[in-house]
Amino acid sequence: MTERRRLLQRVAARPDRHRRLHGLTLIEMMIGIAIGLLIAAAAGSFLAGNLRHNRSLLLESRLMQDLRTAADIITRDLRRAGYWASAFEGVSIGGIAAVAANPYAAIAPSAAASDSASFSYSRDATENDHVDSQEQFGFRLKNGALEMQLGATNWQALTDAGTLVVTAFKVAPTVQTIDLGAACPSACPAGSTTCPPRLSVRSYAIEISGRSVWDAAVVRTVRSSVRLRADPVSGACAA
């Protein structure tokens, strides 16, 4: 009995241990719940941020792809401007000054930058030396979309207005004139405006800006340049 009494006295002297054995207090549970909620909120915010970032990257990638595709098409088609299947008729042979003019030489813009371009090139199997309706081409910005001309009155959308809005389109020409007088057999008369012959090397800088339909903050710009292959020659050597 003595040992049992001593044991009971020892347990009674340590009441804190008994209280801890009964579980968590209300305050401890509230603190634990608050910490858990903070961790869950931080994790949710991090996940939402990652989702927004991934969505933004997808929109940027699609926007850049659409703009680059449009720029590539414009560059490829514009490079052919002025092509003439009978170009040999525009070359002086044997000292003959009178040569035929290239019917496809006209192109706009020719000096100042513009938000549209118009040009032509030969598509005839048998050259007829004039511009047909199906040989007229161009590009323009209209109602937030780029349009491509495939014939005199045939305009078709080049960009999808459901995915991007084209905010700016600029075609800026650059012309470098090269004097060909060294190839002439005799000197040009003083004050002549048609002699010597001159070669016009034409190139165009293309700039397209657009924004995503789904997120106005996603804005991108692409730039490209193209050198025309059909370089016109003006003037002639002295007869």
Which tokens sit at 103? 């019917």
Residues in the chain: 239
Phi, psi of 161 (to 5 degrees): -70, -15
Torsion from C-alpha of 75, 77, 80, 85, nearest 10 degrees: 170
Which region, left, alpha or beta, applies to residue 95 given φ > 0 means left and ψ of -120 to 50 means alpha? Answer: left
Element (H, E) at 87: none
**SS3 of residue 223 by DSSP:** strand
Which region, left, alpha or beta, applies to residue 90 given φ > 0 means left and ψ of -120 to 50 means alpha? Answer: alpha
Q: How confident is the model at residue 76 (pLDDT cuts 50, 70, 90)?
A: very high
Angle (CA) 61 58 216, round 5°? 85
Q: How far is CA 1 from the centre of its chain?
A: 96
Q: Considering only residues 85 and 50, tell me which one the structure prediction assigns the higher pLDDT.
A: 85
At residue 87, does pLDDT exceed 60? yes
Give the model's pLDDT for residue 184: 78
Tell me the C-alpha distance between 220 and 62, whole Å.
11
Q: How confident is the model at residue 11 (pLDDT cuts 50, 70, 90)?
A: low
Residue range 90-96: mean pLDDT, rounded: 58
Domain boundaries, the chain: 57-234
Interval 56-67: pLDDT, tens: 778 888 899 999
The answer to whether the CB of 117 falls within 8 A of the CB of 146 is no
Give the model's pLDDT for residue 217: 87
Tell me the C-alpha distance between 177 and 188, whole Å.
17
DSSP label at residue 143: T
**Closest to 227 measured CA to CA, from 203, 201, 205:** 203
Which tokens sit at 126? 């048998």
Helix intervals (H) in 24-113:
26-78
